[in-house]
């Protein structure tokens, strides 16, 4: 049975053109970019070309892009460097309650080192308030880190407003754009972003490669000590094939962004409409307006999302109960809790994230499978039976 892959926020299929671009760097062009002979030195040029493509895609300069092992490392680097740059005085970071754990757990680690952290609340749509952000600023605030788009509910934050507040108070602004880069147009200069994290495997590139953009005016500390790679800031022999793959994925993402957005959004809206009209007691989590085009996040009342996932798996459908990292845990997602979704509703959550490789036929099949399984799971639910009986008694 062919797999229907609807978990594109967890990772994406690598485009064949990306694999084709990478293969020669394993097979023939395997030289270490630090070598002085031409066979190796050419790899340095290839890396620079990829760096330029990525810089161009963000309106940045080449020297502002630092390759990393992915989003987690970029997030760690951004937060830790802001704390280091603040020196020995009191330090304060502002972030949000709905960040990815790459941010939240770095904050927890920094708190243990004496850094104060404010976790901004979000509203029921998963949006932060720029006014609340401004109120949270203290004299020793050294960083604001607000994600560009959320991995569970897809909401896109008001990045320009956040950056306006940050600039007004002379505070650095970092954004975790792991879910957004390659999917929405980002211009770091126009948006006033000082640091930005991205990851290759979320835009049909390889896993284990990402980058951190850092504005060239910021004198930030190295993350890995050793050789001179990445301007001496992130030592270690470069993941050449990964970098080439990421560059290619960024190039493809840029050229097909509009077409992709239109296609994915049409499937997403169709899926949402069918689920909301054909299944009772279901809600969409997250803003309907400012949302990544491929993200659907539903909560089905009276069922466990994990049971639905298992049944969908038997139909060959790959979905998620929330983020890849939090699915498998029995506690409700921290993102939905932050949005005030009651635990009993949050437990019935299913995230479907659509990619441009998906088809309307797959969506139709998925809707039919969800309808069938939700009906079956509710038929075995004492809460659902109780609810129906109460309804009947009230009629
Ligand atoms: N930040 C966000 C918003 C994510 O969605 C993810 C991965 O799901 C990460 C960070 C971590 O990225 P990576 O898997 O490249 O370490």
Residue to mutate (ligand 1; options 72, 98, 320, 351; most atoms within 8 A of CB) = 72
Q: Which of 19-23, 223-227, 245-249, 381-385 has the lowest mean pLDDT?
A: 381-385
What's residue 200's pLDDT?
A: 98
Report the nearest atom of ligand 1 relative to the CA of 323. 8
**Predicted pLDDT at 328:** 52
Active site residues: 325
Residue 380 burial (10 A CB sphere; 0-12, 13-18, 19+): exposed
Q: Whose CA is nearest to atom 8 of ligand 1?
A: 10
Shortest-distance Cα residue to atom 10 of ligand 1 = 71
**pLDDT by residue (tens digit) across 164-179?**
999 999 999 999 999 9
Query: Is the predicted pLDDT of residue 258 greater than 50, yes or no?
Result: yes
- Nearest Cα to Cα of residue 304 among 285, 325, 277, 322: 322
Torsional class of 185: left (φ above 0), alpha (ψ -120 to 50), beta (otherwise): beta
For the whole prediction, is pTM greater than 0.85?
yes
Count of Cβ atoms closer than 10 Å to residue 271 Cβ: 24
Nearest residue CA, atom 4 of ligand 1?
178
Location of structure tokens 């602004």: 173
- What whole-number distance in Å separates Cα of residue 375 and Cα of residue 373? 5
338 contacts: CB under 8 Å, gap ≥ 6: 96, 97, 98, 121, 122, 126
The Å distance, Cα 277 to ligand 1 centre, comes to 33
Residue of 11, 196, 199 to test ligand 1 pocket, by largest number of atoms within 8 Å of CB: 199
- Confirm if 212 and 77 have CB atoms less than 8 A apart: yes
pLDDT of residue 74: 98
Q: What letter would DSSP give residue 368?
A: H
Nearest residue by C-alpha to atom 13 in ligand 1: 71
81 — pLDDT class (breaks 50, 70, 90): very high
Of 266, 201, 276, 242, which is closest to residue 7 (Cα–Cα)? 201
Query: Taking CB atoms and a 6 Å cutoff, what residues make up the pocket around ligand 1?
Result: 70-72, 75, 100, 102, 147, 151, 176, 178-179, 199, 210
What is the mean predicted confidence (pLDDT) over 288-305?
A: 95
Q: What is the pLDDT of residue 323?
A: 46
Instruction: Quote the CA–CA distance of 19 and 22 in Å, as a whole number.
Output: 5
- Provide the pLDDT confidence category of residue 392 given band limits of 50, 70 and 90: confident
Residue 155, helix vs strand vs coil: strand
Q: Write the residue with the smallest CA distance to atom 5 of ligand 1.
A: 151
Residue 102 alpha carbon, nearest atom of ligand 1: 10
pLDDT of residue 329: 55
How far is residue 20's CA from residue 178's CA, in Å, rounded to a whole number? 24
pLDDT grade, residue 395 (50/70/90)? confident
Assign 1 a pLDDT band (cuts: 50, 70, 90): low
pLDDT tens string 182-199: 999 999 999 999 999 999
75 CA closest ligand 1 atom index:
10
Q: If you measure from the C-alpha of residue 199 to the centroid of ligand 1, how many angstroms do you get, rounded to a whole number?
A: 7
Distance from Cα 178 to the centre of ligand 1, integer Å: 6
CA–centroid distance, residue 77 to ligand 1 (Å): 14
Q: Are 151 and 9 contacting, i.e. CB atoms less than 8 angstroms apart? A: yes
Burial group, residue 268, by CB count within 10 angstroms (0-12, 13-18, 19+):
buried
Backbone angles phi, psi at 119, to 5 degrees: -105, 105
Pocket test for ligand 1, best of 102, 126, 292, 320 (most atoms within 8 A of CB): 102
């Amino acid at each position: 049975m062919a797999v229907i892959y609807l978990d594109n926020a967890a990772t994406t299929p690598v485009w064949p053109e990306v694999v084709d671009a990478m293969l020669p760097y394993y097979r023939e062009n395997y030289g270490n970019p630090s070598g002085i002979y031409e066979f190796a030195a050419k790899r340095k040029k290839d890396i620079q070309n990829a760096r330029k493509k990525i810089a161009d895609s963000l309106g940045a300069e080449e020297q502002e892009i630092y390759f990393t092992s992915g989003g987690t490392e970029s997030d760690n680097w951004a937060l830790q460097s802001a704390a280091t740059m603040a020196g020995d005085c009191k330090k304060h970071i502002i972030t949000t309650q709905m960040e990815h754990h790459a941010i939240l757990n770095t904050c927890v680690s920094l708190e243990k080192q004496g850094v104060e952290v404010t976790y901004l609340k979000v509203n029921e749509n998963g949006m932060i308030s720029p006014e609340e952000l401004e109120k949270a600023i203290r004299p020793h605030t050294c960083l604001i880190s607000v994600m560009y788009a959320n991995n569970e509910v897809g909401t896109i934050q008001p990045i320009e407003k956040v950056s306006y507040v940050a600039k007004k108070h002379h505070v650095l602004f970092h954004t975790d754009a792991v879910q957004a880069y390659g999917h929405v147009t980002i211009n770091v200069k126009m948006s006033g972003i000082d640091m930005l994290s991205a990851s290759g495997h979320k835009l049909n590139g390889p896993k284990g490669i990402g980058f951190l953009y850092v504005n060239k005016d910021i004198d930030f500390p190295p993350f890995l000590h050793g050789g001179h790679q990445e301007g001496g800031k992130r030592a270690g022999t470069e993941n050449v094939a990964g970098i080439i793959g990421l560059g290619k994925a960024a190039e493809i993402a840029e050229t097909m962004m509009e077409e992709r957005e239109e296609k994915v959004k049409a499937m997403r809206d169709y899926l949402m409409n069918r689920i909301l009209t054909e299944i009772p007691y279901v809600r969409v989590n997250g803003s309907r307006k400012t949302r990544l085009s491929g993200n659907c996040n539903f909560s089905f009342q009276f069922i466990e999302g994990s049971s639905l996932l298992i049944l969908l798996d038997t139909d060959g459908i790959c979905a998620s109960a929330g983020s890849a990292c939090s699915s498998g845990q029995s506690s409700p997602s921290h993102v939905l809790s932050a949005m005030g979704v009651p635990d009993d509703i949050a437990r019935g959550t299913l995230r479907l994230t659509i990619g441009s490789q998906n088809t309307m036929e797959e969506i139709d099949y998925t809707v039919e499978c969800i309808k069938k399984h939700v009906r079956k799971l509710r038929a075995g639910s004492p809460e659902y039976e109780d609810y129906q009986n109460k309804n009947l008694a009230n009629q």
